[in-house]
Structure 1
Amino acid sequence: MTGTLPTTGTPEAAPPKRTYAPLAANENREDYSLRFAPHSFRRWSPFVVATTALGGIAYLADFAIGASIVLSYGFTSGVLAILAAALVIFVTGVPIAHACAKYGVDMDLLTRGAGFGYFGSTLTSLVYASFTVIFFSLEGSIMAQAFELALSIPLPIGYLLSTLIVLPFALYGMGAVAKMQAWTQPLWIAGLVLPFVVVAIREPGKFAEFASFGGTEGAGSGFSAIGFGFGMGVALSLIGQIGEQADYLRFMPEKTSSNKRAWWGAVLAAGPGWVILGAAKQIGGALLAFLALGVVGKAHALEPIAPYLEAVKPALGPAALTFAALFVVVSQIKINTTNAYSGSLSFANFFSRVLHRHPGRVWYVLVNCGIALALMEFGAFAFLNKILGFYSNVAIAWIGAVCADLVIVKPLGLSPRYIEFKRAYLPKINPVGFGSMIVASALSITAYFGAFGQFMAAFSPLLALVVAMVLVPALAAATKGRTYLARPNSVIRQKLSPEELRATHICTVCQDEFELPDIADCAKQSGAICSLCCTLDSTCHDLCQTAGPVDLPMPTMPTARP
């Protein structure tokens, strides 16, 4: 495998030097949260993976975001802003979705190998974790509003209930999430379509009225570049959603000649394709808010449950409130399960690198939900536009930097053509991606607060994207790609067949078997080490990056995992 491997078989296993806590050792719950997703674990079809990933976009924050944009900036500027943001999100999402599905890595591992370095990606772990927390709190607030309207449950108690209700699904990982998303999909689709069918049949003229709507703040029905820019900034806050899609796409089976069409269809639909439905939901949410504005008032028009209820009342009569509340609750369970699941992965990645400890992904589900609950209790929903507008400046700088590496730097050969995520081979900080993100974020946030005038304030997220996309290839060329690897990967340094990549080594630390992409050669252990044991070692002081490569025994064919 390295060119000098001995021909002996795998040596008899010694007692493990590290044992993991029961929760961290149970991969049926852990879902390889800090690792490459091995081929032996990717037992779902492309259709199942795509359905599970798309189930996570059932959120109704789209309704609230679209309503907020159009009510603030009018139909023309608002809708164009939503569509422009969707285009940016789709284009940047394609290479990210493809890389995660191809290499079996989540967004954090992808970021490490796409220009940020081992510790450089800790910042993006927090950026991504904050995305899941912010949207968990927004979605939980919407569910609590449904509890209040349907059952007269006070909002503070509703916030707690909306948090507790998703825990059973998020704690049990991909298997439980896939089943839940499949079972709830028919009800959710029926509930999503119903209000628009009712409006189209009963009040078709309302669509034309909506198209001339000038907003509630005097924006007017014409086009405003400033309104367009600010609206696009709010919609672009959803660009981090590709990370949640990637958390499921890493379980895609290997692409073969027989499943190539299904594979690509699933990757495009479940990856960047979520934004097509997302943009439609934003515009639909704005329509429902417009129709309900005169009945419920502006404040309640921004809460999805109230406009939805007004739309379905003519068709469902007395049952409308029950159906509307059920639809909202099902939608929020579907998305907040994903928020809690993805947030746990990101928090686990962050703390494992900082603390060199990993008690198990499920503990970080509780961390994610606890922070989100605090935000709900503090009334985060009332500051929707400001929170999302600010957040988008940082999120788009991160996504832009990763995208630039995948579509420009790697094809030019300035960075490894595969995704290297293991500590043993990465520098602590790669200035190419990490530096570009910092500069792009700083400039865009400065612009957002008005330092460069109102026009640049409105378009600050696009400034972040352009700066990141230009800086990444410029810095990669200036450094000639030398900052991507701390040392060459001596385990996978040549093109290997699929069978060779599926072969397993036994980690000399935990004594478990891992496929080759998850293995590094460890100078301290004088043998193979898995990526997580490598991450958690606090005593080696990166000895491998100064010592020479270690020859590993010949691998064995993969063994089935329970």
Structure 2
Amino acid sequence: MPRQTSDASTTTRAADETLEDYTLRFAPRGYRRWSPPVVATTALGGIAYLADFSIGAGIGLTHGTSNALLGIAVAALIIFTTGLPIAYYCARYNIDLDLVTRGSGFGYYGSVLTSVIFGSFTFIFFATEGAIMAQGLRVGLGIPLWLGYLITTLIVIPLVVYGMSALSKLQVWTTPVWLLLMVAPMAYLVLSDPGSLGEWLAFAGRDGSGGVSVAAVLLGAGVALSLMAQIGEQVDYLRFMPPKTRENSRRWWISVVAAGPGWVVFGALKQATGAFLAFFVLGLAGSAATEPVEQFLGVYGLFLPGWLAVALAVVLVVVSQIKINVTNAYSGSLTWTNSATRLTRRYPGRNVFVFGNLAVALVLMEANMFAFLNSVLSFYANTAIAWVVTVASDIVLNKYLLRLSPRVPEYRRGMLHPINPVGVISFSAASVISIAMYFGALGSALQPYSPIAAVLLALVLPPMVAIATRGRFYLRRTDDGIPEPRFDSTGTPVATAYRCHVCGQDFERPDVLACPTHEDVVCSLCVTTDRSGTHLLPAQSTPLPRAGFRHGNGHDDRDGEPLLKN
């Protein structure tokens, strides 16, 4: 009995700590008080990052403008196509990408594989963006890089610990300033020197190939495709979308598309702009063409006094990096907390992983990861592609077209099998084969095609494995023991509140299950942290005694129906 008391205390604390941002769980209707445009603006605030300029610069200088633009376009098309079903699914059912991944082919523990991929994405890009901000501080204020790295890490801590409420205000307030500082110099450059566009379009690149090369296009696309995991950060915000109704349907769809897969449209434009600025600055100064602070400093210096050009370039870099790095730190803390809680069945607190994620990013910055950014991204792209495309394939093909996977989302422990071979095999095969191609194990001729191989394999393998396994590994149970459906006739999550008998908190219908031992209701997080298995539902065929359940108002509803149907 003391063990149960300790577990109850732990789960109560965990429940209390997750009520600001609903870590590990469904975001309830009562918390989702923002309008679709506000949620979309908050989500798009995270794409203010300047790494796109560096990525575009690296691709353009290496492969030439034509190959760079085609590579960026190919990557954008793939990212948009795969991101659309994921964004819709997360916004419609108000869960993040990790929870979607569990029920979309990976299983309850199988999705830990992809959590590691996404968590790595957040600290890699935090380090990348932090390095860019440190470069800005060095140029503008003379701060040495090592100290700049430390400042960029520490500055986000007071912003990110408060979750969605603070982040939505930050992103909305800073977006107008960011847009003005970003667009104004570009407009001046194009209007004052239109001939520079023609020179840039004719630029052949450092490899001197001149014309369009399929290999160069795909190599450039591979670097840009490393950003595919960004959809995970976008839907960390989109899960707070209000219910889709007849009245808000148009605004809801516009917001989901724009802030979900639509981020890549802005990202592709920034990459192309980075390629242009790199060419312009290279001709102007002959060096530092891939560093965003130098790119914008070169443009500002054309029409502003030197001191003001430096000041505005630094402000742009600082605002941009704060906007994206609070998102990197926030999303990283969510995914690492999620994985650790499932594996250890203890909730360590999200802020533990805020500091952990920032510590890893700081080490990467101090190790000068920015110097070999494109190499890191090219390798990482293969695993990111394999994960996102596998999930998108399961949603579109297995759930909606072939009906091999349950259409409504499931993420709760006890309802899912620990491992689902559909996602795990598809992701693993696509990752291993594409990485082998990237390192030339299958021949140099196939090396540039590694990202395309990852896309194709992750697209076709999920339905093949689902057919082979007859979809038997998606659900461990089809009934969670509560008579009321989780979704209404329109597919909207039901908002009825139920009281969890372990932590004493009220949670909406999609986030609770029946407790087989206590004949009561338990929330998904208390089941996750249940180390003894007391609250874990048995396999579908096991009968359970009749029981009642309590609504959030404490009313005991016993209607004589079995709590668990078999």
The two structures share one fold, judged by TM-score above 0.5: yes
Task: Name the counterpart of 1:136.
Answer: 126
Check if 1:456 corresponds to 2:446: yes
**Contact 1:521-1:549 at 8 Å conserved across structures:** no
**What is the rounded CA distance, in whole Å, between the counterparts of 2:118 and 2:395 in structure 1?**
19
Q: Which runs of 5+ in 1 are unaligned?
A: 1-13
Cα separation, partners in 2 of 1:432 and 1:306, compared to 1, 3 Å: same
**Contact 1:490-1:549 at 8 Å conserved across structures:** no
Cα separation, partners in 2 of 1:291 and 1:40, compared to 1, 3 Å: same
**Residue among 301, 320, 326 paired with 1:337:** 326
Which string of whole-angstrom CA distances, capped at 9 and with x for unpartnered residues, describes residues 11-34 of structure 1? xxx999334576862456x40011
**Residue among 369, 376, 380 paired with 1:380:** 369
| Corresponding residue SS for 1:185 | helix
Shift of 1:290: 0.6
Which string of whole-angstrom CA distances, capped at 9 and with x for unpartnered residues, describes residues 215-244 of structure 1? 12x243311111111110000000000000
**What is the rounded CA distance, in whole Å, between the counterparts of 1:408 and 1:48 in structure 2?**
31
Check if 1:530 corresponds to 2:526: no
Q: Please identify, of 238-247 and 195-204, the stretch whose mean Cα deviation from structure 2 is larger.
A: 195-204
**What is the rounded CA distance, in whole Å, between the counterparts of 1:556 and 1:500 in structure 2?**
16
**What is the rounded CA distance, in whole Å, between the counterparts of 1:390 and 1:384 in structure 2?**
10
**What is the rounded CA distance, in whole Å, between the counterparts of 1:415 and 1:145 in structure 2?**
48
Shift of 1:504: 1.9
Task: Name the counterpart of 1:507.
Answer: 500
Shift of 1:465: 1.2
Which string of whole-angstrom CA distances, capped at 9 and with x for unpartnered residues, describes residues 419-477 of structure 1? 10001111110000111100111110111111222332111011011111111001111
Shift of 1:527: 2.6
**Residue among 293, 304, 308 paired with 2:292:** 304
**Contact 1:524-1:540 at 8 Å conserved across structures:** no
| Paired amino acid for 2:258 | A
Task: Name the counterpart of 2:8.
Answer: 17
Paired residues, number: 543
Shift of 1:93: 0.4
Task: Name the counterpart of 1:247.
Answer: 236
**Residue among 165, 173, 183 paired with 1:183:** 173
**What is the rounded CA distance, in whole Å, between the counterparts of 1:492 and 1:556 in structure 2?**
11
Shift of 1:532: 0.7
Check if 1:119 corresponds to 2:109: yes
| Paired amino acid for 2:203 | F
Q: Please identify, of 93-102 and 186-195, the stretch whose mean Cα deviation from structure 2 is larger.
A: 186-195
Taking the TM superposition and a 5 Å limit, the aligned residue runs for 1:11-160 are 17-20=8-11, 25-27=16-18, 30-160=20-150
**Residue among 543, 551, 559 paired with 1:556:** 551
| Paired amino acid for 1:266 | S
Cα separation, partners in 2 of 1:240 and 1:549, compared to 1, 3 Å: farther
What is the percentage of aligned positions where both structures have the same residue?
48
Q: Please identify, of 60-69 and 404-413, the stretch whose mean Cα deviation from structure 2 is larger.
A: 404-413
Task: Name the counterpart of 2:252.
Answer: 263
| Corresponding residue SS for 2:247 | coil
Taking the TM superposition and a 5 Å limit, the aligned residue runs for 1:209-358 are 209-216=199-206, 218-298=207-287, 300-318=288-306, 319-358=308-347
**Residue among 474, 488, 505 paired with 1:497:** 488
Shift of 1:497: 2.6
Cα separation, partners in 2 of 1:203 and 1:543, compared to 1, 3 Å: closer
**What is the rounded CA distance, in whole Å, between the counterparts of 2:493 and 2:272 in structure 1?**
49
Task: Name the counterpart of 1:364.
Answer: 353
Shift of 1:413: 1.9
**Contact 2:499-2:552 at 8 Å conserved across structures:** no
**Contact 2:14-2:347 at 8 Å conserved across structures:** no
Task: Name the counterpart of 2:559.
Answer: none
| Corresponding residue SS for 1:521 | strand
Which string of whole-angstrom CA distances, capped at 9 and with x for unpartnered residues, describes residues 74-100 of structure 1? 111111000110000000000000000
Which string of whole-angstrom CA distances, capped at 9 and with x for unpartnered residues, describes residues 35-67 of structure 1? 010111111000110000000000000000000
Query: Taking structure 1 as the reference length, what is the TM-score of the superposition?
Result: 0.93
Which string of whole-angstrom CA distances, capped at 9 and with x for unpartnered residues, describes residues 324-380 of structure 1? 000100000000010000001001111101111113212211111111111000111
Q: Which runs of 5+ in 2 are unaligned?
A: 555-566
| Corresponding residue SS for 1:514 | strand
**Contact 2:56-2:271 at 8 Å conserved across structures:** yes
Cα separation, partners in 2 of 1:175 and 1:496, compared to 1, 3 Å: closer
**What is the rounded CA distance, in whole Å, between the counterparts of 1:492 and 1:450 in structure 2?**
54
Superposed CA RMSD in Å reads 2.0
Cα separation, partners in 2 of 1:24 and 1:152, compared to 1, 3 Å: farther
**What is the rounded CA distance, in whole Å, between the counterparts of 1:551 and 1:262 in structure 2?**
45
**What is the rounded CA distance, in whole Å, between the counterparts of 2:466 and 2:535 in structure 1?**
24
Higher relative contact order (CA 8 A, sep 6+): 1
**Residue among 374, 391, 395 paired with 2:380:** 391
**What is the rounded CA distance, in whole Å, between the counterparts of 1:558 and 1:37 in structure 2?**
20
